[in-house]
Chain A
Amino acid sequence: MYLTNEQEAILKGEEGWAKKKCLEIIVGLGEMYGADRLIPVASTQISGVSYKTLGEYGLQWVESLAPAKAVVPSTLNPAGMDLCCWLEMGVPEDFAEKQMRVIRAYEQLGVITLCSCTPYLAGFAPRFGEHVAWSESSAVCFVNSFLGARTNREGGPSALASAITGLTANFGLHLDENRKPTAVVKLSAKLGGLSDYSALGYLLGKMMQQTIPYLRGLPSLSVDEAKALSAAAAASGNLALFHAEGFTPESRAYVGEVGERFHVDDRDLKRVYEELSTIRSGKIDLVAIGCPHASLVELEAAAALLKGKKISPTTKLWFFTSLPVKVLAERLGFVDVIEGAGGKVFTDCCMIVAPLEQMGFTAMAVNSAKAAVYAPTASKIDVVFTTFEKCVDIALEGRLV
C-alpha cells in the first residue's frame, strides 16, 4: 500500500502512541483487503458505546488513547441508558456509573457525545460521494444507499481509529466497482407502514449474501422508510448498500438488468411478522419504538394516536430518539402528549443496548425487525414484531390484542 511520508512518520510514532496505534489499525485492515492507499474521511460514527457491549477492556482501550483527539466530526452510537433520565428507566446504579465513564472517555478524545444510530437526522448527514467511516450498521446502509455517501461497515475500534487519524483505507464500498447492483429484486408486495419496510429489509438481508440489490417496484422511500429498511437489512444479513429504482441517487447509473432475480410478495412480508415473533399471546411489559431512533415524524404520529388516551398501568411505552429530535418534539408538544398518556421519550439509548435483562422485562413489542432479531439473544426477552398502530394498541391494553 502506498503511504505518504507523513503517514510513515505517524507509524514510526512521531505523533504519539495513540495516533500510531490507530493508523496501524487502518493500515492493517487496508493491507488485508488490498487497499492501494489511505483516503481522508469527512466524518466518523463510532459503535461500542453501551457498557453492555463495550465491556471493561473496551473501555480501557478508549481511555488509553487520550490525549489524542478526533480530527473530524465524530459522533457515537447509542449508549446503554438515557444519559439524563437513567434512574427513571430503572437502570442499575453500577451500570450507570460505568456507562458515564465510557461517555467521559470519548469526550476526552474530542468525540461529540451525540449518542444516536441516526446522526443523519440530527445534523450529521454526509453528502453524496463523500468518504466517511461509520460503524452503526443501519446508518452505514442508510448513508450508502439513500445519501450516496461511501463507507464500509466499520467496527467500533476502526471507526475510532479513523476519527483520530482522519483516514480510512481505500477498499470495499469506497470504490465505484464495488457499488454496482448484482441482483434485481422485484416487489409486488404492498407496503403499508414502517414495519412493512422493516420486514422487507429483513427479507432482503436474508436473501442477499455478498449481493447488492436493485429494488424495483417500491411505491415510495421516505427518510423514515429508508431508515427502517436499512436497519433490518443490515441486521439480518450484513447488507451495507442497496439501490432503489427512482429513489436512491446511484440507482440512475444502473438501468440495465443485472445478475439474479428475486421476487417479494405480500405473503413473504406476512411471514416475517410470524417468524420474528417469539410469542403469540399474553402480557407485554414493554412496548419500545425507536429502532433506529424515532424521527420527529414518528413522534408526531405517536402523539396523534395517544392523544386523550391512557396506556395500561402494567405496560411501559418507551420511545427512543436522539437528543436534538427530543428537544424539537418537546417544543412542538409531542412529548407532553406522549407522557400525558403514560409513555416516555428517552434519548441516547435504545432497547437493544440497554440492560433490559437487568431491568425486569420479560416480553416486548416492537415495530422494528432489527429489534426483534436482536432482543431474544441480546436481552433474553420474548418479542412481538408488529405494526406501529398495533404496538400502541398493545400498550393501551397491556397485552397482545
Chain B
Amino acid sequence: MRVISCRKISPGRAEGLALFSPAPISFFGTIDPTTSEVIEKSHPLYGQRIADKILIYPTGRGSTVGSYILYGLSKRGLAPRAIIMKEAEPIVAVGAIMSDIPLVDRPESFDFKSGLHIIVDADRGKIIIP
C-alpha cells in the first residue's frame, strides 16, 4: 500500500479507477458536457470518458465557464469521482466544491497511471493506493 500526502481543496472521500492525463485539461473545450468524453483531438485522453473515474492531471487552463461545466457534468451523473491535480486553479476548485467532488493537489509524488485503484481522502489530505 502507498499513502501519498496532498493538500485538500474540495472536501470528501472517493474511491475508483484512475484516469491519468499528462496534459492539462480545460473543462470548457476539452470535455463534451453531455457525455464526459474528451473531444479535443490533440489531447492524450481523446475519446475517453472522465465519468466515474479518479481524474488525475497536472493543471487546468481556459475559460471560467469551466466551473459550471463541471457542475453540469455532476448534475448529469457524469462527473469524475474525485480529482487529483499537481497544482489546482480556481476554476476547477470552485467547480469541484459546487459539485461535491473531492479535489486534492500538490501530491508528494505525481507518479500515477491509468487503471490504478485509488482512494482519495481529501479531508485527511491523503491519496491511498491499496
Contact = CB atoms under 8 A, between A and B. Distances in A.
Interface in B64-121: 64-65, 67-69, 71-72, 75, 88, 90-91, 93-94, 97-98, 105
B72 A55 contact: yes
Given A31-B9, A32-B90, A61 B71 contact: yes
B124 to A, nearest CB: 14
Nearest to B106: A32
B69 A28 contact: no
Contacts of B69: 57
Contacts of A25: 94, 97-98
Interface in A23-66: 24-25, 28-29, 31-32, 48, 53-58, 60-61
A73 interface: no
Contacts of B105: 32
A48 B33 CA distance: 18
Contact of A155 (B7, B33, B64, B72): B64
Contact of B90 (A21, A48, A158): A158
B11 interface: yes
A61 B68 contact: yes
B90 A58 contact: no
Nearest to B103: A28
Given A57-B72, A61-B71, A155 B97 contact: no
Q: Is the interface of B mostly helix, strand, loop or mixed?
A: helix
A32 B67 contact: no
B90 A29 contact: yes
A56 B97 contact: no
Given A28-B93, A55-B72, A157 B9 contact: no
A156 interface: yes
Given A57-B69, A57-B72, A60-B75, A29 B64 contact: no
Classify chain A's interface size: 20 to 34
Given A28-B93, A48-B68, A155-B67, 18 more contacts: A24-B10, A25-B94, A28-B9, A29-B90, A29-B93, A32-B88, A54-B68, A55-B72, A57-B68, A57-B71, A57-B72, A58-B71, A60-B71, A60-B75, A61-B98, A157-B94, A158-B90, A158-B94
B126 interface: no
Contacts of A29: 90, 93-94
B71 A155 contact: no
B68 A32 contact: no
A158 B68 CA distance: 12
Contacts of B98: 21, 25, 61, 157
A31 B6 CA distance: 13
| The 10 nearest A-B residue pairs measured at CB | A57-B72, A58-B68, A24-B97, A157-B94, A155-B64, A28-B97, A57-B68, A25-B97, A57-B71, A28-B93
B64 A28 contact: no
Contacts of B49: none
A57 B34 CA distance: 11
B50 to A, nearest CB: 16
Contacts of A54: 68
Interface residues of B, number: 22
B17 to A, nearest CB: 25
Contacts of A53: 65
6 contacts: A24-B97, A29-B90, A57-B75, A60-B75, A155-B67, A155-B94
Contact of B67 (A21, A31, A157): A157
Contacts of B11: 24
Interface string B24-37: 00000000010000
B99 to A, nearest CB: 9
Interface string B43-71: 00000000000000000000011011101
A48 to B, nearest CB: 8
Contacts of B72: 55-57
A31 B97 contact: no
A10 to B, nearest CB: 14
A31 B72 CA distance: 25
Given A155-B91, A155-B94, A28 B10 contact: yes
Nearest to A47: B64
Contact of A55 (B68, B90, B94, B97): B68
A48 B71 CA distance: 14
B94 A28 contact: yes
A21 B88 CA distance: 19
B8 interface: yes
Contacts of A57: 33, 68-69, 71-72, 75
A29 B64 CA distance: 14
Contacts of B9: 28, 31-32
Contacts of B7: 31
